Amino acid sequence: MNRLLALVRREFWENKGALRTTPLVIGGLYIAGLLMSIFTTAHFDNDLYTFREAIRFLATQPVEFRATHGYEVILGSSIFFTVVLAFVVFFYLLGALYDDRKDRSILFWKSLPASDTVTIVSKLMTAMVLTPLIFWVVFIFTQVVMAIIASLMILSVGENPWTLIFSVVNPFKAWAMLLVTYLAASIWFLPLHSWLLLVSSFAPRIPLLFAILPPVVFAVLQIWITFLKTFTLNTSLFGLIGDWVANSPAIFVGGEHGGETLLGLGVPLTGDFDHAITLANILDRLFSVQMLSGLVVSAVFLAGALWLRHRATES
Amino acid sequence: MTPIISARGLTKRYGRTTAVDHIDLEIPPGKIVGLIGPNGAGKTSALKAILGLATFEGELSVLGKNPSRDRAALMEDVCFIADVAVLPRWARVWQLIDITEKLHAGFTRETCMEYLKQTKITLDHKVKQLSKGMVAQLHLALVMAIDAKLLVLDEPTLGLDILYRKQFYSSLLNDYFDEQRTILITTHQVEEVEHILTDLVFIQDGKIALESSMEEVERRYVELMVRPENAEQARTLGPLYERELFGRHIFLYDNVAREQLAGLGEIHTPSVADLFVATMKGGQS
């Protein structure tokens, strides 16, 4: 266990830029964006008249309205964090078993008493737990800073931010839900994580190419053969991957449609799952047949990655 | 005493080429063994098998373990420097010390700091900021602070300057080595290690060409330097190898009585380098 933690810490040291600086930069962008919009408003809005009216209007709305919308705003603003998190994890895993082969430092790591299994587990832990946790913490920190700035604005127009928002909105529930979706999505995407580790363990160069090309070639052939046989463009690996993303327990869609806030798990393209953000729906995905088959695929990929890691110093 | 390394029929093939060809080898504890051979002789392949970095055929046991299967457990008691400058370039010195300490039960931070004090390396340096020699110093400081039973060095000083190489071997011998420990070294710079070796293993075309202790080398092998007029007579005594230097003929004999040779010219104990050349040339003819 101590070994595993030491190795996870080593992953953090090596990837500090991606794992820590990236979310900090996004948080900074959020705060900068808020400040810019405040200055824009102050610049064009005479004595903040419109802003004051908007706040007053908000104050007349029922408590439930404010509570639901506050909750959705908190969760909705996480989407950009989530998308970037997905990219960071993708590229982290792609390099995880590649970089040290490339610079030959694998010879140093293999001279330490840590098995290949614990090494691979440490990389998965970094991708599936540590990185989402860092993004989550920075996200909360960003929201707290933004809430303070917003409160000052509300105070400046003579309204009480406490009675208006903070006494009715429960951010902890939203934050907890976000963390649950992050960890659930980590598990949901285990087949993808495992595939990336597998590629990372054998790619002689440009792992990105080796990660993307085989599924693309496979899917194109699949589509072509199906087309020849049935003259239809039916399901393919693309469809499968697309469904996988669409059904994921991560909060991916946000926005408004006809006055209704659309905030849901994954993307509501298929009817396989309910996309409302509830714990039951998240668990429903994790205990589904899809997840089970995904775990089997993951096991095969991970076994391959382990086998290749064992032989990485062969020549 | 149980041997540190014991190999029987150790073989390593890469496709059709056989890099290591049925080697039998036994290395007892408390030795400094030089594994010496020309390029492509199979030294590194043999070392990789010993360190669990490559699969192999035949029997191989290192500290009673199968290196390919139990690499992680084996590394508790084995240290190696596989090549110069394989430390991760992104890492800071304190991070490497930290992780080695966490993973190695036998690591002593104080010892490591003692070695580092003798260098210009600071804890906050990144590996990529260090010169090649400093990286080697850092790696050696890390390794010498580990209480290991077997230390394997594969060309540990390749590309380093002479001052550093001298210092490297002297601290290895004076500060690290003792009766409990075994050191296995491969190097091209035979002259630099020959004073510290207790045993020699020559390897050629994947086979062992010579396996002997240094004492035995001194007892068995004699170099004789003669004037040209005595050369013919010297040749009749069956030398391993003959070369010419400044008009003198130099012969190398295996197991020929010194008294028999003394009358013909000057006798010496051959250097490891000369013995190596003689063995390799002899093996080819």
Identity of the residue in A105, A114, A314 whose CB atom sits nearest the CB atom of B72? A114
The pLDDT tens digits for A259-293 are 565 788 888 777 778 888 888 889 989 999 989 99
* pLDDT for the residue numbered A255: 56
> Are B90 and A13 in contact (CB < 8 Å)?
yes
Identity of the residue in A10, A103, A113 whose CB atom sits nearest the CB atom of B72? A113
- Give the residue among B27, B24, B29 at the shortest CA–CA distance from B11: B24
Q: Report residue B104 as tokens.
A: 């190695």
Q: Are B273 and B37 in contact (CB under 8 A)?
A: no
Q: Judge if ipTM > 0.90.
A: no
| A264 SS3 class | strand
Task: Let me know if domain B5-205 sits in CATH 3.40.109.10.
Answer: no
Average the pLDDT over A50-78 and give the result: 86
> Are A110 and B14 in contact (CB < 8 Å)?
no
**Pairs across A and B, CB distance < 8 A:** 80
Backbone angles phi, psi at B59, to 5 degrees: -105, 135
The answer, yes or no, to whether residue B284 has pLDDT greater than 70, is no
Residues of A within an 8 Å Cβ radius of B? 2-3, 6-7, 9-10, 13-14, 100, 103-116, 118, 311, 313-315
> Are A9 and B80 in contact (CB < 8 Å)?
no
* Same-fold call for B5-205 versus B217-284: no
Q: Measure A108 CA to nearest chain B CA, in Å.
A: 6
Q: Is B113 touching A (CB cutoff 8 A)?
A: no
Q: Is B1 touching A (CB cutoff 8 A)?
A: no
Q: What Rg do the C-alpha atoms of chain B give, in angstroms? A: 21
The pLDDT tens digits for B199-257 are 999 998 889 988 889 888 888 888 888 888 888 888 888 888 888 888 888 888 888 87
Q: Measure B18 CA to nearest chain A CA, in Å.
A: 13
Mutation for testing the B interface, residue in A21, A107, A111 having most B CBs under 10 Å = A111
The answer, yes or no, to whether residue A63 has pLDDT greater than 80, is yes
* pLDDT for the residue numbered A175: 94
Lowest mean pLDDT among A119-123, A190-194, B265-269: B265-269
> Are A100 and B14 in contact (CB < 8 Å)?
no
> Are A105 and B51 in contact (CB < 8 Å)?
no
Average the pLDDT over A44-54 and give the result: 80
Q: Measure B64 CA to nearest chain A CA, in Å.
A: 16
Give the nearest chain A residue to B86 (CA atoms): A105
> Are A112 and B90 in contact (CB < 8 Å)?
no
Class of domain B217-284: alpha beta
- Helices A190-202 and A79-96 sit at what angle, rounded to 10 degrees? 30
What residues of A are in contact with residue B46 (Cβ under 8 Å)? none
Give the pLDDT band of residue A258 (cuts 50, 70, 90): low
Give the nearest chain B residue to A118 (CA atoms): B72
> Are A9 and B99 in contact (CB < 8 Å)?
yes
* pLDDT for the residue numbered A260: 62
Q: Is B162 touching A (CB cutoff 8 A)?
A: no
The pLDDT tens digits for B4-43 are 999 999 999 988 889 999 999 999 999 999 999 888 888 8
Three-state secondary structure string covering chain B: CCCCEEEEEEEEEECCEEEEEEEEEEECCCCEEEEECCCCCCHHHHHHHHCCCCCCEEEEEECCECCCCCHHHHCCCEEEECCCCCCCCCCEHHHHHHHHHHHCCCECHHHHHHHHHCCCCCCCCEHHHCCHHHHHHHHHHHHHCECCCEEEEECCCCCCCHHHHHHHHHHHHHHHCCCCCEEEEECCCHHHHCCCCCEEEEEECCEEEEEEEHHHHHHHEEEEEECHHHHHHHHCCCCCEEEEECCEEEEEEECCCHHHHHCCCEEECCCHHHHHHHHHHHHHC
Q: Where are the domains positioned within chain B?
A: 5-205, 217-284
The pLDDT tens digits for A139-178 are 999 999 999 999 998 888 888 888 888 888 888 999 999 9
Q: Is B123 touching A (CB cutoff 8 A)?
A: no
Give the pLDDT band of residue A51 (cuts 50, 70, 90): confident
Q: Measure A73 CA to nearest chain B CA, in Å.
A: 39
> Are B75 and A113 in contact (CB < 8 Å)?
yes
Q: Is B12 touching A (CB cutoff 8 A)?
A: no
Give the pLDDT band of residue B285 (cuts 50, 70, 90): very low
> Are B86 and A6 in contact (CB < 8 Å)?
no
Q: Which of A69-78, A124-133, A254-263 has the highest mean pLDDT?
A: A124-133
